[in-house]
Amino acid sequence: MINEALEALNNGEIVLVFDSDNRERETDMIVAAEFMTPQYMTQIRNDAGGLFCVPLSSENSDALGVPFMTDIMEIASSEYPVLGELNPNDIPYDEKSAFSITVNHRKTFTGITDNDRACTIKELALLCKNGKQNEFGKYFRAPGHVTLLRAAKGHVINRKGHTEMSIALMEMAGLTEVAVCCEMMDDKTGGSLPTEEAKKYAEEHGLVFMSGADLIKAYNDFKKSG
Ligand code: 5RP
Ligand code: CA
Ligand code: CA
Ligand code: ZN
Ligand code: ZN
């Protein structure tokens, strides 16, 4: 299963990952950001429909200099006290949110179109791939239409969100540790897409579906094998 997933990611394909019954109970579509295209934007927007986010390894986040949104809010709360009152200390499924800032590439127009978002996502991956993280502000502006997520240091060892699972997949696949994830929503119920239907989508589209438990086990084995 994991080998199929890593091969698919290296071929620029989408992989589906369900986190766990003890967490969000959501399946995200995940793809390597370096392979992002406008066609994927269209497919993921229509077929997944959640929020497009870009998980970054904690190393890439540090190199880019992007903080957690909660850290920005805490610092800014001396000037804007409501930002302190909005403290997300009651998330029902996890201790901490992975949200960072939102960005657009400076080449984009509004930033929201499939062409624009694919450009922002792919260019950010290439910036990191080429070790040019210190030129972030030269090529990107904020706020924008692509949400960045900061993976925890050591990713899945310390937090078991799609953010960290996306980065674990990129690491195992030997890809730039910048990903895209988007939750699969259910058009019929207004809820998240049930796991069985996400599995069905994977079968119908020839995609790999993985559980978070299998992914984390594969990562632990990967680490053990050195
Ligand atoms: C951003 C989210 C999604 O759940 C996404 O999967 C990343 O978050 P997490 O790491 O908490 O799973 O909240 O749309
Ligand atoms: Ca849909
Ligand atoms: Ca989340
Ligand atoms: Zn607008
Ligand atoms: Zn998630």
ipTM value: 0.93
Residue 226 has pLDDT above 90, yes or no: no
Q: What is the pLDDT of residue 191?
A: 98
pTM, 2 dp: 0.97
162: phi > 0 → left, psi -120 to 50 → alpha, else beta; which?
Answer: alpha
Residue 17's CATH number: 3.90.870.10
Q: What stretch of H or E contains 119?
A: helix 114-129
Q: What mean pLDDT do residues 15-35 have?
A: 98
Q: What is the pLDDT of residue 199?
A: 98
Q: What is the domain range of residue 121?
A: 2-64+94-225
Cα-to-centroid distance, 115 and ligand 1 (Å): 23
Query: Is 155 annotated in the active site?
Result: no
Strand order in the sheet with 15-18: 99-105, 140-150, 53-56, 179-183, 27-32, 15-18, 208-211
Q: Tell me, yes or no, whether 144 lies in a domain.
A: yes
Q: What mean pLDDT do residues 185-191 have?
A: 98
Q: What mean pLDDT do residues 27-39 have?
A: 98
Q: Tell me, yes or no, whether 77 lies in a domain.
A: no
Q: Is the beta carbon of 117 within 6 A of some atom in ligand 1?
A: no
On whether the CB atoms of residues 7 and 200 are closer than 8 A, the answer is no
Q: What mean pLDDT do residues 75-95 have?
A: 96
d(CA 138, CA 106) in angstroms, rounded, equals 8
d(CA 33, CA 139) in angstroms, rounded, equals 17
Q: What is the pLDDT of residue 17?
A: 99
On whether the CB atoms of residues 29 and 166 are closer than 8 A, the answer is no
Q: What is the pLDDT of residue 200?
A: 98
Domain count, the chain: 1
Give per-residue pLDDT as tens, 38-64.
999 999 999 999 999 999 999 999 999
Cα-to-centroid distance, 146 and ligand 2 (Å): 20
Alpha-carbon Rg of the chain, whole angstroms? 17
